[in-house]
């Protein structure tokens, strides 16, 4: 038994009296073979005694592994921080050529159109010239899994956009969640090492439900807000085109007079927000591991182009000083009720890549890619990303010339004196490769008026490894998020925590997490503890700052924010020989008018004879096309077909899963017979479509889930 040591005060000042038990002896770092301390018993003895120093790869002991070096307590990170650079450089080069994080992704080409000018705030043409259409490439990804993992695990989603502007490339590299796990980039390698497959066993893949992740989280109070988000329905998106995107960090907009305004960037999907349910998600991964990329491909191919509104939150330095949190802390968001969103444009994705590897895999995003009129803030997580992403691209793509790849190349003229390097694809001519010079006829000159200029700021203070006291409130926004959710979302979040923590082998981690949850909301902690069979609750963690009760923010909810449309949705219709063609045609016609997709499902693919004698071909064979792939289902069956299918397990699962996943079910007389056999009682989400006038009612109900059914089909925490 041991307690958090005083040497960890900066990281864990608020973690009091959490007892750590049952830790297995293991080697946290490799020691080179010629070191005087080997990996045997002597090493373990020194480690157990606390006498082995955490050090750099050069053997320099590290005084603070929690904070990067900053110009002052609220200032920017410093390039001289060799500990930060060594740690992140090593981390960035751990995997080649696959991305270390965000490896599983897909992307598409499109355009951005500005509809509202921000000319008073920025000189960036892309944000000031209304009507300007800018080509772009967007990539969406999971975070934790490898390139061969599934599309649909519980995970944050990367949301990265490369704008090919007139002034150069601008990369807005964010997530579908507005906050992040950590406040300082120096902790990013630790976070990802904890979240990835455990190194001694190589699993679990693309999952956080394991000991190393929750061990790290339980010792990192700053992560509690992000934990609420990743355990929420936000990390189970129904579609890539039904999730929001966030730039996460505060950036600066700089106008022609050199005046600065803070900005946060948001993407809002035209189709609104929708998620899947956890049981549905797990089955989706087996039914179609490519579910999200296939849906994006099919939507673009059908001309149903995904679209997002682009919005900003604008605020001044003076306004920021009045916030009850620090906007430079990446574990915090600015509620829309405090600073409303201003919609300024839209993004449309209208072209699938010609080659997945050449474009989607080789696209290189860097937060450091900005254009004049946009600048960075002193967010310490952002400051570290400015180094890390470029370093990662050098590792993945093997050359400083990765910008010459077609997917990465600017679409505006560019020229400089950089030469040579691995995989140089251009052939510069002439004898001059420097500036200034008097020998070249085509002189490249600086552009003092229109070129990129950083915001002029005065930084005072003592350089230090520490975090501002304004970063110390780790629970208030986590509490605000949880209390803002609908009752269904709260139940899903609690159940997600129970599921994840039930996979954790070490009981002390359960108790440590419950101790944190008590600071967020007591009922949340009690219900999670009950779900884990823990009835003696540990004392709440002593917070570094008093937990505040922020106002409820309805904008944080997901349920109810789906658009009132069937566009982008799919309905599966189960048929067999003799099925009523009139009903099928009515559903298909209505879906086409609504911009949705109909898929015919049957026991066999070919030669299904309908009621009036015509033959149709199915889109999917029943055993391989479960109802998890659809937003609603219809059962159009004769009496004889229903009697046959009620003995078929795949048919029973098709119906039972749709009901359990709260989907609308349309039935004719044969379909109702199937329900009776399975034991499903009709509710408002089960609609008789043998009456054709009910088809519209069926499709209207299909726009949402039947939430009032949930308490009948599952027990939630």
Catalytic residues: 102, 175
Could you give the CA distance from residue 653 to residue 625 in angstroms, rounded to a whole number?
Answer: 11
How many other CB atoms are there within 10 angstroms of residue 205's CB atom? Answer: 14
Residue 317 · residue 455 · CB < 8 Å: no
How many other CB atoms are there within 10 angstroms of residue 698's CB atom? Answer: 23
Could you give the CA distance from residue 611 to residue 580 in angstroms, rounded to a whole number?
Answer: 5
Could you give the CA distance from residue 228 to residue 477 in angstroms, rounded to a whole number?
Answer: 10
* Token code pair at residue 284: 């989706």
- Could you give the residue ranges of the DSSP H alpha helices within 139-277? 188-195, 211-218, 224-230
Could you give the CA distance from residue 660 to residue 656 in angstroms, rounded to a whole number?
Answer: 6
Q: Which helix (H) or strand (E) holds 319?
A: helix 317-322
Give the residue among 371, 388, 334, 448 at the shortest CA–CA distance from 170.
371
Residue 19 sits at the vertex; the CA angle it makes with 15 and 21, to the nearest 5 degrees, is 135
Question: Can you say how many angstroms the Cα of residue 643 is from the centroid of all Cα atoms in its chain?
Answer: 45
Residue 687 · residue 701 · CB < 8 Å: yes
Give the residue among 149, 101, 403 at the shortest CA–CA distance from 285.
149
Residue 91 · residue 100 · CB < 8 Å: yes
669 three-state secondary structure: helix
Q: How far apart, in Å, do the first and last CA atoms of the chain sit?
A: 31
39 three-state secondary structure: coil
Q: Which residues contact 85 (CB under 8 A, 6 or more apart)?
A: 79, 387
Could you give the CA distance from residue 512 to residue 525 in angstroms, rounded to a whole number?
Answer: 11
Whether the upstream peptide bond of residue 131 has omega within 30° of 0, thus cis, is no
Coarse DSSP helix, strand, coil percentages of the chain, rounded to the nearest 5 percent: 35, 15, 50
Q: How many CA atoms lie within 13 A of 423 on its CB side?
A: 10
Residue 513 · residue 218 · CB < 8 Å: yes
Could you give the CA distance from residue 175 to residue 333 in angstroms, rounded to a whole number?
Answer: 13
Could you give the CA distance from residue 248 to residue 231 in angstroms, rounded to a whole number?
Answer: 18
Residue 299 · residue 306 · CB < 8 Å: yes
β pairing state of 105-114 and 133-142: antiparallel
Could you give the CA distance from residue 168 to residue 368 in angstroms, rounded to a whole number?
Answer: 12
Question: With 0-12 CB in 10 A as exposed, 13-18 as middle and 19+ as buried, what is 365?
Answer: buried
Residue 165 · residue 371 · CB < 8 Å: yes
């Amino acid at each position: 038994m041991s307690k958090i040591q005083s040497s960890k005060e900066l990281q864990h000042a608020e973690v009091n009296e959490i007892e750590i038990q049952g830790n297995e002896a293991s080697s946290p770092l490799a020691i080179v073979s010629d070191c005087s301390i080997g990996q045997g018993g002597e090493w373990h003895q020194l480690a157990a005694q606390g006498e082995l120093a955490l050090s750099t790869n050069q053997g320099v002991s590290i005084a603070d592994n929690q904070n990067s070096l900053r110009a002052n307590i609220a200032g920017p990170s410093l390039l001289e921080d060799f500990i930060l650079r060594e740690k992140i450089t090593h981390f960035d080069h751990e995997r080649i050529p696959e991305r270390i994080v965000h490896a599983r992704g897909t992307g598409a080409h499109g355009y951005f159109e500005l509809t509202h000018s921000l000319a008073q705030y920025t000189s960036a043409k892309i944000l000031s010239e209304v009507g300007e259409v800018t080509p772009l490439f967007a990539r969406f990804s999971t975070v934790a899994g490898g390139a061969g993992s599934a599309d649909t695990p519980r995970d944050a989603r990367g949301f990265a956009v490369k704008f090919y502007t007139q002034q150069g490339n601008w990369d807005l590299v964010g997530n579908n969640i507005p906050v992040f796990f950590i406040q300082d980039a120096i902790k990013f390698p630790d976070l990802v090492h904890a979240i990835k497959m455990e190194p001694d066993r190589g699993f679990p893949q693309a999952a956080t439900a394991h000991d190393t992740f929750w061990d790290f989280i339980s010792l990192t109070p700053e992560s509690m807000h992000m934990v609420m988000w990743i355990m929420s329905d936000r990390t189970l998106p129904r579609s890539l085109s039904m999730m929001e995107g966030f730039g996460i960090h505060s950036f600066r907009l700089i106008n022609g007079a050199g005046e600065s305004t803070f900005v946060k960037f948001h993407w809002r999907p035209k189709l609104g927000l929708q998620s899947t349910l956890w049981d549905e998600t797990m089955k989706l991964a087996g039914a179609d591991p490519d579910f999200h990329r296939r849906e994006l491909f099919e939507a673009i191919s059908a001309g149903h182009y995904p679209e997002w509104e682009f919005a900003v939150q604008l605020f001044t330095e003076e306004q920021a000083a009045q916030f009850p949190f620090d906007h430079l802390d990446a574990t915090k968001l600015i509620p829309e009720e405090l600073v409303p969103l201003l919609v300024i444009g839209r993004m449309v994705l209208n072209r699938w890549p010609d080659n997945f590897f050449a474009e989607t895999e080789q696209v290189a995003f860097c937060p450091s890619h900005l254009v004049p009129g946009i600048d960075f803030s002193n967010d310490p997580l952002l400051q570290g990303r400015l180094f890390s992403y470029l370093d990662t691209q050098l590792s993945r793509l093997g050359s400083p010339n990765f910008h010459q790849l077609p997917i990465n190349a600017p679409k505006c003229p560019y020229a400089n004196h950089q030469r040579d390097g691995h995989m140089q694809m251009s052939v510069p001519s002439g004898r001059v490769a420097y500036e200034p010079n008097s020998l070249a006829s085509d002189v490249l000159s600086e552009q003092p008026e229109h070129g990129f200029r950083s915001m002029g700021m005065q930084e005072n203070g003592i350089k230090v490894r520490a975090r501002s006291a304004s970063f110390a409130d780790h629970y208030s926004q986590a509490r605000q998020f949880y209390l803002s959710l609908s009752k269904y979302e709260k139940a899903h979040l609690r159940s997600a925590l129970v599921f994840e923590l039930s996979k954790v082998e070490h009981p002390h981690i359960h108790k440590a997490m419950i101790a944190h949850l008590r600071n967020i909301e007591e009922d949340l902690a009690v219900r999670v503890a009950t779900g884990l069979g823990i009835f003696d609750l540990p004392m709440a963690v002593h917070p570094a700052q008093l937990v505040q009760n922020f106002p409820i923010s309805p904008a944080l909810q997901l349920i109810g924010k789906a658009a009132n449309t069937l566009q982008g949705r799919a309905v599966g219709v189960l048929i067999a020989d003799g099925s009523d063609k009139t009903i099928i045609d009515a559903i298909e016609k209505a879906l086409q008018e609504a911009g949705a997709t109909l898929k015919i499902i049957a026991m066999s693919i070919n030669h299904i004879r309908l009621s009036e004698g015509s033959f149709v071909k199915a889109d999917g064979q029943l055993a391989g096309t479960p109802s998890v792939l659809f937003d609603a289902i219809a059962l159009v069956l004769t009496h004889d077909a229903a009697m046959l299918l009620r003995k078929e397990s795949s048919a029973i699962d098709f119906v039972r899963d749709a009901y359990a996943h709260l989907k609308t079910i349309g039935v004719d007389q044969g379909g109702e017979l199937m329900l009776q056999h399975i034991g499903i009682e009709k509710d408002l989400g089960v609609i008789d479509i043998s009456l054709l006038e009910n088809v519209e009612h069926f499709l209207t109900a299909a726009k949402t889930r039947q939430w009032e059914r949930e308490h009948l089909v599952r027990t939630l925490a």
